[in-house]
Amino acid sequence: MSTPTFDLFVIGAGSGGVRAARMAAQRGARVAVAEAGALGGTCVNLGCIPKKLYSYAAHFASDFEDARGFGWSASEPHFDWATLKANRAREITRLNGIYERLLLESGVTLLHGRAHLVAADTVALNGQAYRARHILVATGGHPVMSDIPGGELAVSSDAIFDLPQFPRRLVVVGGGYIACEFASIFRGLGAEVTQLIRADRILRGFDADVQRFLTLEMGKHGVQLRTNTGLSAIERRDGGLLLTLKNGDTLRADTVLQATGRRPNAHGFGLEALGVLFDEQGAIAVDADYASNVPGIHAIGDVIDRVPLTPVALAEAMVLVDRLFGEGKRRLDYALVPTAVFTHPNVATVGLTEEQARADHRQLRIFRTDFRSLKSTLSGSTERVMMKLIVDAASDRVVGVHMVGADAGEIVQGFAVAMKAGATKAQFDATIGIHPTAAEEFVTLREPVA
């Protein structure tokens, strides 16, 4: 049997892998993609997309309540978990089909199955060997699960979307963005939610004002946040789950979500035998051009230890394809990567936190405000919005933008463009605001805080 030969063989059809495959094929390269699961990777199937759909669903309860202040009255709304799951699954299936069509229409050879590297230029799949000038590993990551007694009774963020029954009592273990998002989502859908956080605050690595403000707002929405504690054991008891905490307290729950982090899917593909190096986090070690230490083997996305976000994986794919099949001029700057957290309320941020800026020994001017939005004045909601600008005093450049509030991601995206262009506080001040919006506050902040 002859051995098919490609210019690029991609292992993993997630966001980064699909983008790399399509762009390489459009440049005339012979490309194959191998995928053992559903097309689209974590983002489409078990991450960004379904999570955002569930976040939308979770907002309707408060929207129905808020509507009364605007003169609307209706019968008591009813939420159906099975309907949400079915509609989400149908949409994800549609997206899977779009990914397949994009690959095939680009001329990419799509292979279904788990690939295994047998040499730096050879991949085995379903009993067939494939040769390639370049091999790209874009296999994403997986949730970390606890090894505590009864840990197998918890579910991961991958499984939470399809729980057979909606949990009346949910305990979320973890303080990162995935844990906070699901705590907000299930609280909005009607569950009693307790969130256990090992540290003294949520969202490690975010600005301290964001951490404090979101903690208060999530509490207003009914999420019970318990800091400086962890889970030591889970057992089945009386038709539910009995949880023992590290401080000896107990909790009862219907479902426990373990959301304490993710790890790269870097092992089990034959990389070890080829001498590919890994970092201390278990990620594939790559250089600035996404090349491993073994010539011909490259990696991007969550399987490397950079910024595990879908748009970043897409950008990394473009840089790599340009290097392998283009002029090699494209570069990716990780310094100003905007991100959003779809909690209730949302969080969005770009640039430095105040703590990071001070660690650089910068002279800073900090602008911060929090207020009740116009919508809340009639609805009676106590939810507030927080906005913060961090300005380098010497250059007047805005080096950090942070927001907690409705549609924060939609608002901060535009300010990320301004920061990328090097916008100064004077330019923010000279910009006319759109009134009445929350976003205009970013261009009307005049007095720095002490």
Which residues 6+ apart lie within 8 Å of 215 measured at CB?
201, 202, 225
The per-residue pLDDT for 298 is 98
What total number of domains does the chain contain?
Answer: 3
pLDDT at 221 over 80: yes
Domain stops at, among 232, 260, 288: 260
Are 165 and 92 within one domain?
no
Are 22 and 63 within one domain?
yes
**Does 237 reside within a domain?**
yes
Average pLDDT value over all residues in the chain: 96
**What single-letter amino acid sits at 375?**
K
Domain stops at, among 214, 232, 260: 260
**Does 355 reside within a domain?**
yes
The CATH number that applies at residue 63 is 3.50.50.60
The per-residue pLDDT for 8 is 98
Residue 66 zone, left/alpha/beta (φ > 0; ψ -120 to 50; rest): alpha
Are 69 and 127 within one domain?
yes
**Does 448 reside within a domain?**
no
Are 363 and 384 within one domain?
yes
Q: Kindly report the pTM of this predicted structure.
A: 0.96
The per-residue pLDDT for 1 is 59
Domain that holds residue 352: 345-443
For residues 134 and 5, is the Cβ–Cβ distance under 8 A? Answer: no
The CATH number that applies at residue 419 is 3.30.390.30
87-145: pLDDT as tens digits: 999 999 999 999 999 999 999 999 999 999 999 999 999 999 999 999 999 999 999 99
Are 248 and 269 within one domain?
no
Are 43 and 162 within one domain?
no
Q: What is the DSSP string of 336-384?
A: G--EEE-SSS-EEEEE--HHHHHHTT--EEEEEEEEE-HHHHHH----E
d(CA 401, CA 381) in angstroms, rounded, equals 25
**Residues annotated as part of the active site:** 435
d(CA 139, CA 265) in angstroms, rounded, equals 6
pLDDT at 297 over 80: yes
d(CA 261, CA 177) in angstroms, rounded, equals 9
Are 137 and 31 within one domain?
yes
Are 202 and 316 within one domain?
no
The per-residue pLDDT for 174 is 97
| Residue pointed to by tokens 């494209």 | 330
Percent residues over pLDDT 70 in the chain: 100
**Does 204 reside within a domain?**
yes
Percent residues over pLDDT 90 in the chain: 97
pLDDT at 56 over 70: yes
Are 111 and 49 within one domain?
yes
The per-residue pLDDT for 354 is 97
228-281: pLDDT as tens digits: 999 999 999 988 999 999 999 999 999 999 999 999 999 999 999 999 999 999
Task: Name the band, by pLDDT with cuts 50, 70 and 90, for residue 387.
Answer: very high
> How far does the chain reach from its first CA to its final CA, in angstroms?
74
**Does 340 reside within a domain?**
no
**Does 35 reside within a domain?**
yes
The per-residue pLDDT for 2 is 79
Task: Name the band, by pLDDT with cuts 50, 70 and 90, for residue 338.
Answer: very high
Are 221 and 302 within one domain?
no
Are 306 and 216 within one domain?
no
**Does 449 reside within a domain?**
no
Strand partners, 141: 264
Task: Name the band, by pLDDT with cuts 50, 70 and 90, for residue 7.
Answer: very high
Are 273 and 244 within one domain?
no
For residues 138 and 301, is the Cβ–Cβ distance under 8 A? Answer: yes
169-190: pLDDT as tens digits: 999 999 999 999 999 999 999 9
| 3-state class (DSSP) for residue 435 | coil
The per-residue pLDDT for 193 is 98
